[in-house]
Structure 1
Amino acid sequence: MAKNTGKAYEEFVRTIQQSLITAEGMSHLKNIEVETNKKLTDRNGIERQFDVYWEFDLGGYVYKTVIECKDYASSITVEKIDAFIGKTADIPGLRLIYATKTGYQSGASIKAEQHKIDLLIVREADEREWTAEDGTPLIKTIQLNIVALTSPRITSFAPNVDTDWLEKQKDLNADIINHAFTSSLNNEIFISNESTGHKFSLFDLSHLLLKKIPDIQYGKGTFSEELDNSYLETKAGDIKIKIKGYKLDYEYHAPITTSSVIDYSKDLLGIVEKYNTGTKQMIFKDGKIK
């Protein structure tokens, strides 16, 4: 089993802290870079190592912050706080923060408060984040089942032209009719009933087939309908021919179902808790803080 050097936890805390700084809008002060394994020299000339460090300049004064990180399975003792105090005693002007995954013993908490050390619990998210204080489960995942319903698609359309009517039309011939309708889209060709005033395009007709054929089945099929006092006409209405009805072929496909799962836990980077107050922040990978 590999030895826990604590480096992974230090990097985790650095990432969390960088996200907090960005979310709090502090980056406008300067390009704040949160570093790990930072070396600072105290007033005795002794070089001290700090797990996480960042600084910023405001009003001509440099504000420096250090975080001591301990990836322990047990609570932090007062001796660990004493060691942190000793390491920072000869470097004035530091803001001191301690971070661990577990917690702090009472003596450590008291000593930290006396020396104005902020105590944090910085950890990965677990099931606690998805349960309310009263035990009510919170939404962790959402599964979306999307069903795409399609209308029948008309593959061919053959109008039953009223030949007696057509023969009486001196300004219409086969070339004019073919040119008007063969170059038009299905939303540019209309059937109009002059008795009822009802008018619909061939595009609309594909949707109407679901009502016209109550027992319609998936797959290929045919449908025909007789019409009275009806015309096939162009979108502009400049060409129209009287029809007695029509026959069409269609294809009707079964609904397409797709599923997707939104797992909020995968987007959650980590949790920061202030030990003394119990307040908690959820830091997400996209930089959002809740």
Structure 2
Amino acid sequence: MELCETSKDYELLTQKIYKAILESEGVENLEVKHDEKVRGKSGVEHQIDVFWEYKYAGVSHKVLIECKYYSKAVSLIHARNMLGLLNDIPNSQGLLVTTQGFQSGVIDFCNHYEIKLKRIRPPKGSDWDGCIQIVNVNGVLYQNQYLNLGFSFDARDEGTKAFVENNGKEISFNAYDVTVEDEGEKYFIGKWLDKKIVSNLAELGTQREEVIEPEDAHVILSSGDKLKLRNVKVLWELTKQDLSLSVDAMDFVHAVLEDFGSGEVEYTLNK
């Protein structure tokens, strides 16, 4: 599974993850920036892949993240470059983030200079060790199928009467794609019928006809006009459908942030 298409995509993914982490921790007034230019004490301007700055106890602190979207382990030169950034940018903390890992010399070097090493990668099956990854659900769905609908309208209602006078007695609409307003609540026709018709398993597979006479219900046409219902004649049948569903937790996770030293998963970004 490809995590990103380009190095820039990987930088933006890193930005998104750390922004979500900081928001979840309640950090306020803080912007996680991508491709930021930061001037060091030498006067040289440095390009930082992902950057943010915050104040604690009146002291400004900066976080510098360099992202390496590589197919192999990151070499020592990148750790040395990060140390150079930290020396030139006061009160800063450095993180190296990659997809694969780091050469052994990088690990020793970064541990000594307290540069954090992280990996952002696709999820894998072992992330769910000790947990349930796949859930299989088998069941049965019972559902009313509405085979034929016939609508009658109340000609005594002023709004309905006016509509008929202006448009003729032939009222044309899709009976299976209409909204019903019943005592101030609006329902798609199928949901409205489900509230009105009570079925039981003894009626499974048997067609039945029923007449619904609501007290105060209107059909809402696509034009916005409302026609008051007198009754609805319904031919319906209770049906049964076997269901089989498999849910894999991996399908819901886009990326995993882990500490490279401990292997601890620190954050999972959902799709």
| Residue from 231, 249, 252 that aligns with 1:264 | 249
Counterpart of 1:175? Answer: none
Q: 1:269 to 1:18 in 2, by over 3 A?
A: farther
AA partner of residue 269 (structure 1): H
| Residue from 117, 138, 148 that aligns with 2:142 | 148
SS of the residue corresponding to residue 88 of structure 2 reads: coil
| TM-score, normalised relative to structure 2 | 0.60
AA partner of residue 34 (structure 2): T
AA partner of residue 265 (structure 1): M
Q: 1:9 to 1:144 in 2, by over 3 A?
A: farther
Deviations 1:113-158 (A, max 9, x none): 111101111112233334x27xxx84235546451267xxxxxxxx
Q: How does 1:40-119 map to 2 (within 5 A)?
A: 40-119=38-117
AA partner of residue 123 (structure 1): R
Counterpart of 2:268? Answer: 283
Alignment pair present for 1:13 and 2:14: yes
Q: Report the alpha carbon displacement of residue 263 of structure 1 after superposing the two structures with TM.
A: 4.3
AA partner of residue 139 (structure 1): Q
SS of the residue corresponding to residue 89 of structure 1 reads: helix
Aligned residues: 190
Deviations 1:149-188 (A, max 9, x none): 67xxxxxxxxxxxxxxxxxxxxxxxxxxxxxxxxxxxxxx
What is the distance in 1 between the residues matched to 2:93 and 2:45? 18
Identity, in percent, stands at 23
AA partner of residue 16 (structure 1): I
Q: Report the alpha carbon displacement of residue 54 of structure 1 after superposing the two structures with TM.
A: 0.9
| Residue from 114, 122, 125 that aligns with 1:124 | 122
SS of the residue corresponding to residue 141 of structure 2 reads: strand
AA partner of residue 85 (structure 2): K
AA partner of residue 26 (structure 2): G
What is the distance in 2 between the residues matched to 1:50 and 1:24? 23
Q: Report the alpha carbon displacement of residue 267 of structure 1 after superposing the two structures with TM.
A: 2.5
Q: 1:83 to 1:252 in 2, by over 3 A?
A: closer
What is the distance in 2 between the residues matched to 1:5 and 1:12? 11
Q: Which runs of 5 or more structure 1 residues have no equivalent in the other structure?
A: 151-202, 211-215, 222-249
What is the distance in 2 between the residues matched to 1:95 and 1:74? 25
Q: 1:96 to 1:256 in 2, by over 3 A?
A: same
AA partner of residue 274 (structure 1): D
What is the distance in 2 between the residues matched to 1:284 and 1:261? 21
SS of the residue corresponding to residue 73 of structure 2 reads: coil
Structure with bigger gyration radius: 1
What is the distance in 2 between the residues matched to 1:281 and 1:144? 34
AA partner of residue 205 (structure 2): Y
Q: Report the alpha carbon displacement of residue 266 of structure 1 after superposing the two structures with TM.
A: 3.3
What is the distance in 2 between the residues matched to 1:16 and 1:265? 17
Alignment pair present for 1:218 and 2:205: yes
Q: 1:81 to 1:220 in 2, by over 3 A?
A: closer
Deviations 1:240-265 (A, max 9, x none): xxxxxxxxxx9753324566654432
Alpha-carbon contact 2:125-2:250 (below 8 Å) kept? no
Counterpart of 2:194? Answer: none
- Alignment RMSD, CA only? 3.1
Q: 1:251 to 1:138 in 2, by over 3 A?
A: closer
